[in-house]
Amino acid sequence: MKFVLPELNYKTDALEPYIDQKTMEIHHQKHHGAYVNNLNAALEGKPEFESMTIEELLTGLDKLPESIRGAVRNNGGGHYNHTLFWESLTPGGKSISPEFESKLNEAFGSLEAFKAAFKDAALKRFGSGWAWLVSEGGKLKIVSTPNQDAPISDGLSELLGLDVWEHAYYLNYQNRRADYIEAFWSVVDWSVVEGRL
Ligand code: MN3
């Protein structure tokens, strides 16, 4: 299967002022686009792997030949993570349902405590990577992954991810990763996040 760069469900300027248009254009077209191209290049001419879905590839990294394992982990992970990320965002955000908020309360104490713990994971990810809200067999957890590693490779189900690579925020926020994390909450589509559970 040839992987393709998914279209965004909104215009690249629609998340302003929280995520700026230039960042969205470069991030989607160039960065995500490169992950897709590099993933396809790694799989080209290997029909047994070309026929696999992205989920099959990422949950079976140890079964891939060593010659393509790193490329699939990095570029397949990049494709998978960014696809989830774009889908979790919407102009103006979409509010959280009382049902899901009570699940967050159960797991983390309160919505504020959840956001604080998520922010902490996103800030402490040294270098490049992601912060995640995941489900592990129905139990909500916060994790972070380095580079483009995807939680699905560790048997976790992603509900919400935040890209904290510098390419995700540096044009608008420079070194102020904390401000970018705070701004992110204004454009999260909680209906999508909840639907993943
Ligand atoms: Mn990115």
Segment 11-48, tens digit of pLDDT: 999 999 999 999 999 999 999 999 999 999 999 999 99
| Residue 103: how many other CB atoms lie within 10 Å | 18
Domain count, the chain: 2
Residues 137 and 78 in one domain: no
Q: The pTM is what?
A: 0.97
Centre of ligand 1 from the C-alpha of residue 106, in Å: 31
What percent of the chain shows pLDDT beyond 90? 99
Residues 103 and 189 in one domain: yes
The answer to whether residue 114 is domain-embedded is yes
pLDDT higher than threshold 90 for residue 94: yes
Centre of ligand 1 from the C-alpha of residue 89, in Å: 14
Centre of ligand 1 from the C-alpha of residue 100, in Å: 27
Residues 105 and 78 in one domain: no
pLDDT higher than threshold 90 for residue 184: yes
Q: How far is CA 46 from the centre of its chain?
A: 27
Which amino acid would we find at residue 150?
A
Centre of ligand 1 from the C-alpha of residue 69, in Å: 20
Residues 6+ apart with CB under 8 A from 173: 179, 180, 183
Centre of ligand 1 from the C-alpha of residue 172, in Å: 14
pLDDT higher than threshold 90 for residue 178: yes
CATH number of the domain encompassing residue 174 = 3.55.40.20
Domain, as residue range, for 165: 98-195
- Residues with CB under 5 Å of ion ligand 1 are 163, 165, 168
Centre of ligand 1 from the C-alpha of residue 170, in Å: 11
Centre of ligand 1 from the C-alpha of residue 64, in Å: 24
The answer to whether residue 106 is domain-embedded is yes
Centre of ligand 1 from the C-alpha of residue 173, in Å: 15
pLDDT higher than threshold 80 for residue 65: yes
Q: Quick one: CA dihedral 71, 74, 77, 78, positive or negative?
A: negative
